[in-house]
DNA sequence: AATTCCAGAGAACAGTTGTTAACTGGATGA
DNA sequence: TCATCCAGTTAACAACTGTTCTCTGGAATT
């Protein structure tokens, strides 16, 4: 088992994290395809060549950022969508999860929204892969719900994708509302709630 | 009235269009915030300084591209969403509109998807403004529909935004499917159709 | 026919970029 | 204790960037 790392490895991970943090901060106001290697090392306070000790390239760093941003979110999503509670309760759980995550990690959310369709292929693919995982996790959870009786597998996945996409749209709206008066955030929360509610109503009558 | 332009103005507009075309082609594989002025002029085949005769800056060119990509789409959307035909008919009209537009102007669609959350503020704002216009146009059309009786204005706008966002998601999926076997495009079309159908079912039972 | 206008060219500027190679010095393991 | 390792440094490279000022030659105006 991996016990406590030597002082050597510990320092390396610390520097690596500094790279990720600095890059994320710089990406608040530009996109990954314009982020320079020297720009990042300058922000960290190390020599340009130190970069290569941690990442092969800027796209490589971007992929690491995708994991940092979305990797820890899977258990939270599974728990939030789980079948405990009625649908209205699950909707408000979901909206609150998004609101809190955006408030706690705004620059990660911005990064994902920006690079999902951004100019760097490996990063687009990493994000696409993570979102597909989310959709599949939601699909599995939905399939366990008694309301999914009589649904085709394909339709359950269709619904799961709809939910996931809706989450992302709401996250992006919360992000825009972050640097604005608090009542703006409430409006976004109410909008997101009603949209999820409408989708859920459509789900309830899908088999009519 | 603006009659036929002199040979002078005509040539200028031609060069301007060459800038827009070249930029759009370059933006297939990078994002606007990394697009260089010299890169564009090199692709057009003119001196770097010629750029300033047409645009103040690269973001300025980006805003022009937003208008080119979305400006002509408003009448089409209005016609497609209009209240003629039953809802199933309107859904297939909408899906076909998107499929055709993506097939006819793939790089414009890619540009919008990429820069909607991209690193260049004026361009983000221009896209946001156009999307808000679409949502409002859909809202007005929906409000005319008898099915909207008893709906609050806010809820109609909520639904309109849901439709517009859904259009964009579908457009992005069509784009990914473009360079793939034809049956992939059919799958996207069927997915988009079913998602719109589910939303419409939710709409029909909203007031229950 | 003479004058004004202006899209585009040309040259030069100080800064920036990614990548290479060879190095230093403290932690690591024998 | 001594040899090895390796995160980070230093120096140098050719190539590129946006922006300035000055100039040119054909179209537009008088």
Based on the fold, state whether residues B42 and B82 are members of the same structural domain. Answer: no
> Any CB–CB contact under 8 A between A162 and chain B?
yes
Structure confidence at residue B3 as a pLDDT band (50, 70, 90): low
DSSP line for A149-176: TT--HHHHHHHHHHHHHHHHHHHHHHHH
Best of B201, B205, B207 to mutate (most A CBs within 10 Å, chain A): B201
pLDDT tens track for A23-70:
999 999 999 999 999 999 999 999 999 999 999 999 999 999 999 999
- Does residue B51 sit within a domain? yes
DSSP line for B82-133: SS-S-HHHHHHHHHHHHHHHHHH-HHHHHHHHHHTTSS-HHHHHHHHHHHHH
Partners of residue A155 in chain B, C-beta under 8 Å? 194
Report the percent of chain B where pLDDT is more than 90. Answer: 94
Which CATH number fits the domain that encloses residue A72? 1.10.357.10
- Does residue B63 sit within a domain? no
- Does residue B93 sit within a domain? yes
Based on the fold, state whether residues A99 and A153 are members of the same structural domain. Answer: yes
pLDDT tens track for B119-169:
999 999 999 999 999 999 999 999 999 999 999 999 999 999 999 999 999
State the Cα–Cα distance between residues B6 and B10, nearest whole angstrom: 6
Based on the fold, state whether residues B139 and B172 are members of the same structural domain. Answer: yes
Tokens of B89: 């008919």
Based on the fold, state whether residues B83 and B136 are members of the same structural domain. Answer: yes
- Does residue A63 sit within a domain? no
State the Cα–Cα distance between residues A177 and A51, nearest whole angstrom: 35
pLDDT for the residue numbered B1: 42
pLDDT for the residue numbered A5: 72
State the Cα–Cα distance between residues B137 and B160, nearest whole angstrom: 8
Based on the fold, state whether residues A142 and A176 are members of the same structural domain. Answer: yes
B77 — phi, psi (to 5°)?
-65, -45
Distance of residue A6 Cα from the nearest chain B Cα, in angstroms: 39
B30 — phi, psi (to 5°)?
-160, 175
Q: Domain range holding A25? A: 7-56
> Any CB–CB contact under 8 A between A33 and chain B?
yes
Which CATH number fits the domain that encloses residue B16? 1.10.10.60
pLDDT tens track for B9-45:
999 999 999 999 999 999 999 999 999 999 999 999 9
Based on the fold, state whether residues A51 and A150 are members of the same structural domain. Answer: no
Of B118, B194, B195, the CB nearest to A114: B118
Question: What is the helix, strand, coil percentage profile of chain A, to 5?
Answer: 80, 0, 20
pLDDT for the residue numbered A3: 53
Q: For the purposes of burial, counting CB atoms within 10 Å of the CB of B204, is it exposed (0-12), middle (13-18) or buried (19 or more)? A: middle
pLDDT for the residue numbered A1: 41
Please tell me the total count of domains within chain B.
Answer: 2
pLDDT for the residue numbered B6: 84
- Does residue A2 sit within a domain? no
Based on the fold, state whether residues A28 and A102 are members of the same structural domain. Answer: no
Q: Indicate the angle between helix axes A7-26 and A37-44, nearest 10 degrees.
A: 120
Best of B121, B164, B202, B207 to mutate (most A CBs within 10 Å, chain A): B202
Based on the fold, state whether residues A120 and A187 are members of the same structural domain. Answer: yes
Based on the fold, state whether residues A101 and A178 are members of the same structural domain. Answer: yes
- Does residue B62 sit within a domain? no
Give first-to-last CA distance, chain A, whole Å.
Answer: 55
Protein-proximal positions, strand D, CB < 7 A: 6-12, 16-22, 27-29
What chain B residue is nearest to A204 in terms of C-alpha separation?
B202
Of B119, B159, B208, the CB nearest to A30: B119
Partners of residue B122 in chain A, C-beta under 8 Å? none
Based on the fold, state whether residues B74 and B128 are members of the same structural domain. Answer: yes
Distance of residue A72 Cα from the nearest chain B Cα, in angstroms: 23
- Does residue B61 sit within a domain? no
pLDDT for the residue numbered B49: 98
Average pLDDT over residues B60-74: 98
Q: Which residues of chain A have pLDDT under 70?
A: 1-4
Based on the fold, state whether residues A52 and A72 are members of the same structural domain. Answer: no
Of B33, B155, B165, the CB nearest to A34: B33
Tokens of A164: 């996931």
Based on the fold, state whether residues B108 and B172 are members of the same structural domain. Answer: yes
- Does residue B1 sit within a domain? no
């Amino acid at each position: 088992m991996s016990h406590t790392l030597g002082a050597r490895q510990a320092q390396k991970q610390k520097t690596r994290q500094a790279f990720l943090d600095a890059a994320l901060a710089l990406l608040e106001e530009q996109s990954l395809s314009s982020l320079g290697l020297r720009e990042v090392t300058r922000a960290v306070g190390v020599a340009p060549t130190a970069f290569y000790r941690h990442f092969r390239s800027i796209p490589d760093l971007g992929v690491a950022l995708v994991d940092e941003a979305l990797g820890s979110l899977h258990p939270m999503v599974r728990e939030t969508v789980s079948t405990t509670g009625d649908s209205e309760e699950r909707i408000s759980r979901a909206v609150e999860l998004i609101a809190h995550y955006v408030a706690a990690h705004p620059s990660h959310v911005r990064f994902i929204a920006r690079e999902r369709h951004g100019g760097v292929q490996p990063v687009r693919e990493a994000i696409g892969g993570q979102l597909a995982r989310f959709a599949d996790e939601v699909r599995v959870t939905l399939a366990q719900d008694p309301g999914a009786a009589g649904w085709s597998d394909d339709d359950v996945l269709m619904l799961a994708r709809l939910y996931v996409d809706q989450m992302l749209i709401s996250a992006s709206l919360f992000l825009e509302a972050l640097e604005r008066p608090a009542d703006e955030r409430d409006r976004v929360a109410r909008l997101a709630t009603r949209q999820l509610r409408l989708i859920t109503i459509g789900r309830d009558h899908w088999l009519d």
